[in-house]
Structure 1
């Protein structure tokens, strides 16, 4: 499995500047093979990782699950 390391802070800043979602970027990376995307902090420490699926249908399932979990976590903060 191919591993892709991304500096998280720069990645999310770029998304803001381009007004693009990470899911749109991920969809452009799909090529039929799973990839491990590793998000790093400024000290090169792993913050989290994500296994990019090999097809758009699974990516959409992941996006929906992420949105659900994110909404639940936000609700717990309020």
Structure 2
């Protein structure tokens, strides 16, 4: 997975919020509150993974542009076919 500058900044911002929640979950887990600790760790992990998997409004124009460019502009390899 190749991250651009904006993707890296977005991931860092997500980690700023997810890491304290994850650390709280680990702390609660060690303290004996396994259900609460596990829930906090799960929330932190979901925050990071959902950021990668969900489509945002910024992703829609980019994916549409890739489809249009792929059909309109042919590469040299495509011209031979």
TM-score by shorter chain over 0.5: no
- Greater fraction helix: 2
Larger radius of gyration: 2
TM-score by length of 2: 0.29
- Higher relative contact order structure (alpha carbons within 8 Å, sequence separation ≥ 6): 1
TM-score by length of 1: 0.30
- Greater fraction strand: 1
